[in-house]
């Protein structure tokens, strides 16, 4: 490993089909007023909400509810959550839902006690809360595997009026204090959200994997996680109630983006940058947006990153490569990736998720570009990738 890094992850995890039982043990660590953030109501229909509320009430907590957190949380919704938290003097936040609810909760937690323009400071200027600022603690009860938000400081917010979607990775202060991961809770997720989550996991790993050429332990970890995800995904699309597959997917999602794999890596997050902008215009599930631009992007990255793409083909997809050139091996690896994406039902073009050619200039404008991975992209490159992804 060639890079220099520090590693610290303060989030405590409870994993398994009995993990919700540990919520009552965490109650002693937090104040009496809790802001309960959740989505559009699926947690009520499947009974998870009732279980959580019963535990909170038994612990004597005052519950302030903030429902209807959407899959791509908006700036308007962020303002609403901050207002609710301030008016009710909440002591901590509990996110009940998927990664978007977890993301959103961290955004609210960071912003409640900030006296200035938190949107401008945290997301547009990519700054962290000032040293010494009070930050609300966050706990997560995860109902969907994908983002890894349960064990990182990431928070993605969309300015719907400007079709601009941007993420910020906060420092350790915004990492959840605890997260509860029950694979059974993911079994009620709609099919399209499950599939979107599968590719979100895969791409989180790939964004970190496709950078640098040194012999890095992180890459060996990444290859194992990708292989595990591929195996489990093939099972779960056929049998969504398979607990073992669900548990492996959920655990892989956490390790894909809990800051471990990035150690010693330069990383490449440009598929996410393009995908975020596509999502801001189409409002499609995040993982679908990533899948729809990936093939065009990685075919472009393959030439400058050829040794790593050869390794990807051999170690992740078992491409033997006998009698093949490195370019042919790398291409075979991308074809295997494409075949897997089709197998589990992912879109391969942005037109499939609602993008039109007249959106391309706006999507290009909304894409944040920076040197990453094996390429230094300009706006004209983004336009070409989007055109190739139509």
8 A C-beta contact, residue 288 and residue 196: yes
| Model pTM score | 0.96
Report how far residue 121's alpha carbon sits from residue 252's, in angstroms, rounded to the nearest whole number: 32
Mean of the per-residue pLDDT values of the chain: 97
Q: Is 308 helix (H, G, I), strand (E, B) or coil?
A: helix
- How many helices and strands, by DSSP H and E, does the chain display? 15, 8
Q: How many CA atoms lie within 13 A of 109 on its CB side?
A: 32
The full length of the chain comes to 390
Q: What is the DSSP letter of 323?
A: T
Strands of 12-15's sheet, edge to edge?
12-15, 178-181, 138-142, 92-97, 33-38, 62-66
Q: Which of 69, 78, 286, 329 is nearest to 199 (CA)?
A: 286
Name residue 93's beta-bridge partners: 35, 138
8 A C-beta contact, residue 156 and residue 103: yes
8 A C-beta contact, residue 93 and residue 140: no
Q: Which of 202, 223, 232, 190 is nearest to 341 (CA)?
A: 202
Across the chain, where does the E strand assignment appear?
A: 12-15, 33-38, 62-66, 92-97, 138-142, 154-159, 164-169, 178-181
Classify 172 in phi/psi space as left (phi over 0), alpha (psi -120 to 50) or beta: alpha
296-307: per-residue pLDDT in tens?
999 999 999 999
8 A C-beta contact, residue 155 and residue 110: yes
CB atoms within 10 A of CB 228: 17
Q: What is the pLDDT along the chain (390 residues), one digit of tens a residue?
A: 888 999 999 999 999 999 999 999 999 999 999 999 999 888 999 999 999 999 999 999 999 999 999 999 999 999 999 999 999 999 999 999 999 999 999 999 999 999 999 999 999 999 999 999 999 999 999 999 999 999 999 999 999 999 999 999 999 999 999 999 999 999 989 999 999 999 999 999 999 999 999 999 999 999 999 999 999 999 999 999 999 999 999 999 999 999 999 999 999 999 999 999 999 999 999 999 999 999 999 999 999 999 999 999 999 999 999 999 999 999 999 999 999 999 999 999 999 999 999 999 999 999 999 887 899 999 999 999 999 999
Give every CB contact of residue 380 below 8 A, 6+ residues apart in sequence. Answer: none
129-159: per-residue pLDDT in tens?
999 999 999 999 999 999 999 999 999 999 9
Task: Identify the pLDDT of residue 144.
Answer: 95
Task: Identify the pLDDT of residue 250.
Answer: 98
8 A C-beta contact, residue 14 and residue 150: no
Specify the DSSP element, H or E, that contains 264.
none
Task: Identify the pLDDT of residue 40.
Answer: 87
8 A C-beta contact, residue 305 and residue 268: no
8 A C-beta contact, residue 84 and residue 66: yes
CB atoms within 10 A of CB 243: 14
158-178: per-residue pLDDT in tens?
999 999 999 999 999 999 999
Classify 163 in phi/psi space as left (phi over 0), alpha (psi -120 to 50) or beta: left
């Amino acid at each position: 490993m060639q890079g220099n890094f520090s590693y610290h992850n303060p989030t405590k995890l409870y994993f398994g089909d009995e993990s919700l039982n540990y919520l009552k043990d965490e109650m002693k660590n937090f104040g009496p007023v809790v802001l309960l953030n959740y989505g559009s109501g699926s947690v009520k229909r499947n009974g998870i909400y009732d279980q959580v509320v019963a535990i909170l009430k038994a612990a004597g907590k005052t519950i302030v509810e903030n429902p209807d957190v959407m899959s791509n949380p908006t700036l308007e919704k962020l303002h609403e959550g901050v207002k609710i938290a301030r008016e009710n003097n909440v002591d901590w936040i509990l996110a009940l839902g998927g990664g978007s609810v977890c993301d959103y909760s961290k955004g609210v937690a960071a912003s409640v006690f900030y006296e200035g323009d938190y949107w401008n400071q945290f997301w547009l200027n990519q700054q962290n809360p000032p040293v010494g600022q009070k930050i609300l603690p966050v706990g997560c009860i995860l109902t969907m595997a994908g983002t890894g938000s349960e064990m990182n400081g990431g928070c993605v917010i969309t300015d719907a009026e400007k079709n601009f979607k941007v993420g910020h990775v906060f420092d350790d202060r915004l990492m959840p204090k605890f997260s509860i991961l029950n694979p059974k809770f993911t079994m009620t997720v709609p099919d399209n959200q499950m599939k979107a989550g599968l590719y979100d996991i895969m791409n989180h790993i790939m964004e970190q994997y496709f950078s640098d050429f040194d012999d890095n332990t992180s890459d060996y970890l990444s290859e194992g996680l990708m292989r595990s995800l591929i195996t489990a995904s093939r099972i779960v699309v056929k049998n969504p109630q398979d607990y073992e597959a669900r548990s492996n997917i959920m655990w892989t999602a956490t390790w894909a983006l809990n800051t471990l794999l990035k150690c010693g890596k330069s990383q490449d997050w440009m598929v996410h940058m393009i995908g975020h902008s596509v999502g801001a215009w189409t409002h499609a599930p995040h993982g679908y947006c990533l899948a729809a631009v990936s093939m065009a992007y990685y075919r472009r990255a393959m030439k400058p990153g050829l040794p790593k793409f050869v390794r990807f083909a051999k170690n992740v997809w078992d491409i033997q490569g006998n009698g093949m050139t490195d370019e042919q091996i790398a291409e075979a690896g991308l074809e295997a990736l494409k075949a897997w994406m089709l197998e589990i039902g992912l879109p391969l073009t942005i037109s499939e998720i609602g993008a039109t050619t007249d959106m391309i200039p706006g999507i290009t404008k909304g894409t944040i570009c920076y040197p990453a991975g094996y390429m230094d992209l300009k706006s004209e490159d983004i336009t070409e990738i989007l055109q190739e992804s139509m």
